[in-house]
Amino acid sequence: MGHESDKELEEYRSIMETPSTFEEGFSWRTVVGAVFLGFVMMPASMYMGLVVGEASIGDAARWVTVILFLEIAKRSRQALRQQELFVLYYMAGMALASPFQGLLFRQYLVRSPAAEDLQLVGVFADPDMWWVSPTKEYIEQHGRSFLSWGWFGPIALIVLGQLLGRIDHFGLGYFLYRLTSDVEKLPFPLAPVGAAGSIALAESTQDKQTWRWRTFSIGTMLGLMYGTIYTAVPAVTGAIFGKAVQIIPIPWIELTDKTSDVLPAVAVGLTVHLGLLIVGFVIPFWSVVGGMVAVISTFILNPALYKLGILKTWNASMRTPETGVANQVDFYMSWNIGVMLSIAIIGFIAIAKGLTKSRESGGLDLSKLWVKNEKRGDISIWTSLLIYVFSTASYIFICLWLVPGFPVLFFVFYGFVYTPVVSYATARLEGMAGQALNIPFIREAGFILASRWGDYKGIGIWFAPIPIHNYGYQTVGFRQVELTGTSLRSIIKTEFMVVPIILAASILFSEFIWSLAAIPSEAYPYANLMWDMGARTQLLLYSSTTGQESPFFDALKPLVILAAFVFGLGLFGFLSAMSLPLLFIYGVVRGFGHANPHGLIFEFIGALIGRFYFEKRFGREKWRQYAPVLCAGYFCGEGLISAASIAISMISKSVSQMLY
């Protein structure tokens, strides 16, 4: 059974009609939005990460920006087209990734007590490490400023990485989008969420508002109400009283330490979040069922593996995060690699079967890859492949220049073997089940194993821009661009227009925030509390490539990889023979690799409610159109209340903690 014969895939593919016309979304108004994001939202995100521990404003900032510009346009008696709103939404995600924010942590890392305890201060002082950071003595001599020659190397490398990254965005990721969307016709169930949100907001400016705007508004109110309980109450009470009051435990109800006797090596907990329930409305039903089956199976599998001595790192004092890390190192990293390979092979088999069939009987037409849709703004497939080869080769040459002693075959393998396979597997998983394939610690294990087998000894490899990427994430973004009727040329212009603003704003505010007070210090409570532990964890890992022992030496297990590979192919064959939904296998993979298994319970409840209540009430076709819009509105509402509560917390902490 191939995916082309699975009716549910076709149903999800038709949730939103692909527009027949595509318009330009880039304009002077989006340029103003880029400046606003770079010089208002970015510093707020950076400051918040140091003060209260939130790494970024995320969806809150994206929706705040879009709604702010929409309201300004309304009062100026102008209308923002849905393409312009989507470009603003897309741009917000780019602008909040501050490239120089990592230098704030690095200036502490090289002179931290942890570096002294592990005797790594001298390693950072090596002249060959000029591109990582200045020495401890240099930083103390020149004070809290990045505007000195000692920081020129690290800053230049970041700038080069940003430029390569923006070019690379239209390489293998775009090719996989064209392959999985145009040729294989995968549904990408979560793509309509972001697309539907911008379309609904654009419709709010029209005299006649449609069902989409009403559904979006309902979702927004649900997000506002739940966000008030989940986010606003803890943030505001923490700011006023110094201790946050949590009505609903954040991030989850931890039960691992209470069930360790009955369920050893099993992360047990419950994430109580309305957003997960609504996401369950959107993700294909059989995918959610498969994910739930995978999570339940760990209740049997993990104790058995523990008794067999395979999950040997776990102990009864561990909670969910420690349990997850221990199990990944002992078993699941190798397991996920094998499953990833099976997904890729299944994809290749599906393509091969499709090519052997005639177009009339549902066969695949690879010629679509080479046909450019000029209205959509397509770029040549050959161009995208050349971009991928150029960018990967560039990363390899930079790494050879920066860490010449590291095995070159490692870079070639990750750039031209591992990256394409994991990217294609992720693209198919995103296309089928709305979930990326994540294999934790594969980068770290590769570093340690390569240094063990080779002559390289040092820590520079941890900071080098090695060519290990997962381009499968990008396919959803390209599908959203298509669904909103936005020309791809708009996105290309946006990418290259925003980069200089991001770079300028990021270095400017990194310099400004560091100049206000030492980081970490009492002026930045979260950094003052957590950075020492973070530095010790990272440096302990980095030290493993200097010749010290590490648990990652034994993390890659060939027999486990082979068993998982056979399991994936076998499950695919069984489902095919039983004529069961193909989405189920992708759900199982999704469950084993899910970053938050506790949240799958609420997703499953949402899937059941959607399937057996809302589909019967509204009809399957209509409900599947309503669900993504409802989901987009919910996260918009939750984002708005989160942004407001975070602002209160930031103001309170800056007044009480900032040193003058």
HEC-encoded secondary structure of 567-598: HHHHHHHHHHHHCCCCHHHHHHHHHHCCCCHH
* Paired tokens of 613: 């209540």
The H or E element spanning position 269 is strand 269-270
User: Cα–Cα distance between 358 and 362 in angstroms, integer?
Assistant: 7
Q: Which of 392, 391, 404, 394 is nearest to 131 (CA)?
A: 404
The H or E element spanning position 626 is helix 620-657
Q: Which of 157, 34, 176, 172 is nearest to 493 (CA)?
A: 34
Helix, strand or coil, per DSSP, at residue 590: helix
Q: How far from chain centre, in Å, is Cα 53?
A: 18
pLDDT at residue number 573? 82
DSSP 8-state assignment for residue 230: I
In which band, very low, low, confident or very high, does the pLDDT at 304 lie, cut at 50, 70 and 90?
very high
**Residue predicted with more confidence, 49 or 272:** 272
Q: Is the peptide bond between 234 and the residue preceding it cis, with omega within 30 degrees of 0?
A: no
CA distances from 253 to 98, 190, 236, 269 (A): 32, 27, 21, 5
| Percent of the chain surpassing pLDDT 70 | 88
Long-range contacts, 518-523 (Cβ 8 Å, 24+): 518/144, 519/50, 519/104, 519/107, 519/108, 519/144, 520/50, 520/108, 521/659, 522/657, 522/659, 523/657, 523/658, 523/659
In which band, very low, low, confident or very high, does the pLDDT at 308 lie, cut at 50, 70 and 90?
very high
The H or E element spanning position 480 is helix 474-483
* Paired tokens of 472: 């499968």
* Paired tokens of 113: 């007590």
- Asked if 123 and 493 count as a contact pair (C-beta separation under 8 A), the reply is no
Residue 642 domain-assigned?
yes
Residue 660 has pLDDT above 50, yes or no: no
Residue 47 domain-assigned?
yes
DSSP 8-state assignment for residue 231: I
- The most confident of the ranges 16-20, 183-187, 354-358 is 183-187
Give the mean model confidence (pLDDT) for residues 591-611.
Answer: 83
Residue 658 domain-assigned?
no
Q: How far from chain centre, in Å, is Cα 230?
A: 22
pLDDT in tens, 531-580: 887 787 788 778 878 766 655 556 678 898 899 889 888 887 887 777 77
Q: Say how many domains are in the chain.
A: 1
Least confident residue range of 343-352, 384-393, 410-419: 343-352
- Asked if 448 and 401 count as a contact pair (C-beta separation under 8 A), the reply is no
**Residue predicted with more confidence, 444 or 331:** 331
Burial state string for 47-71 with b = 16 or more CB within 10 A and e = fewer than 16:
bbbbbbebebbbbbbbbbbbbebbe
Helix, strand or coil, per DSSP, at residue 254: strand
pLDDT at residue number 659? 45
CA distances from 395 to 2, 162, 400, 401 (A): 37, 12, 9, 10
User: Cα–Cα distance between 386 and 391 in angstroms, integer?
Assistant: 8
Provide the sign of the torsion angle of the four alpha carbons 444, 445, 451, 457, taken in this order. Answer: positive
Contacts of 136 (CB under 8 A, 6+ apart): 110, 111, 115, 121, 124, 125
Mean per-residue pLDDT over the chain, rounded: 82
Residue 244 domain-assigned?
yes
User: Cα–Cα distance between 450 and 133 in angstroms, integer?
Assistant: 24
* Paired tokens of 38: 């770079």
What backbone torsions phi and psi does residue 253 show, to the nearest 5 degrees? -85, 115
pLDDT at residue number 156? 93
- Asked if 286 and 587 count as a contact pair (C-beta separation under 8 A), the reply is yes
State the virtual CA torsion across 176, 178, 181, 185 in degrees, nearest 10.
Answer: -110
pLDDT at residue number 385? 95
Residue 3 has pLDDT above 50, yes or no: no
Provide the CB-side half-sphere exposure for 42 (13 A, CA).
31
Give the mean model confidence (pLDDT) for residues 69-91.
Answer: 81
| Percent of the chain surpassing pLDDT 90 | 20
User: Cα–Cα distance between 175 and 471 in angstroms, integer?
Assistant: 10
Residue 660 domain-assigned?
no
Give the mean model confidence (pLDDT) for residues 501-520.
Answer: 87
Structural domain for 514, as ranges: 3-17+26-650
Q: Which of 186, 564, 570, 560 is nearest to 340 (CA)?
A: 564
Burial of 445: CB neighbours in 10 Å, binned 0-12, 13-18, 19+: buried
Residue 595 has pLDDT above 60, yes or no: no
Helix, strand or coil, per DSSP, at residue 486: strand
Give the mean model confidence (pLDDT) for residues 217-236.
Answer: 87
What number of other Cβ atoms are within 10 A of residue 530's Cβ?
12
pLDDT in tens, 147-168: 889 999 999 999 999 899 889 9
DSSP 8-state assignment for residue 228: I
Least confident residue range of 161-165, 205-209, 425-429, 572-576: 205-209
Number of H helices, E strands in the chain: 31, 2
**Residue predicted with more confidence, 185 or 384:** 384
Strand runs labelled E in 100-165: none
* Paired tokens of 577: 């023979």
pLDDT at residue number 281? 92
pLDDT at residue number 363? 62
The H or E element spanning position 253 is strand 253-254
Give the mean model confidence (pLDDT) for residues 302-307.
Answer: 93
Residue type for position 246? Q
Per-position DSSP letters for 70-117, written without gaps between them: HHHHHHTT----HHHHHHHHHHHHHHTS-TTHHHHHHHHHTTSHHHHH
Residue type for position 433? A
pLDDT at residue number 389? 96
pLDDT in tens, 359-405: 555 567 777 888 888 889 999 999 999 999 999 999 999 999 999 88
Helix, strand or coil, per DSSP, at residue 252: coil
Give the mean model confidence (pLDDT) for residues 618-629.
Answer: 88
Helix, strand or coil, per DSSP, at residue 49: helix
What backbone torsions phi and psi does residue 26 show, to the nearest 5 degrees? -90, 125
DSSP 8-state assignment for residue 10: H
Tokens 């318009």 belong to 23
**Residue predicted with more confidence, 78 or 656:** 78
**Residue predicted with more confidence, 319 or 534:** 319
Residue 56 has pLDDT above 70, yes or no: no
Span between the terminal Cα atoms of the chain, in Å? 68
Residue type for position 553? F
User: Cα–Cα distance between 298 and 305 in angstroms, integer?
Assistant: 10
Residue 114 domain-assigned?
yes
- Asked if 323 and 302 count as a contact pair (C-beta separation under 8 A), the reply is no
**Residue predicted with more confidence, 102 or 659:** 102
Query: In sequence order, which ranges of 254-360 are alpha helices (DSSP H)?
Result: 256-259, 274-282, 285-307, 320-327, 333-356
The predicted model scores a pTM of 0.79
User: Cα–Cα distance between 564 and 494 in angstroms, integer?
Assistant: 42
Give the mean model confidence (pLDDT) for residues 335-355.
Answer: 77
pLDDT in tens, 81-137: 888 888 888 887 777 777 887 888 899 999 888 888 878 888 888 888 899 999 889
pLDDT at residue number 1? 40
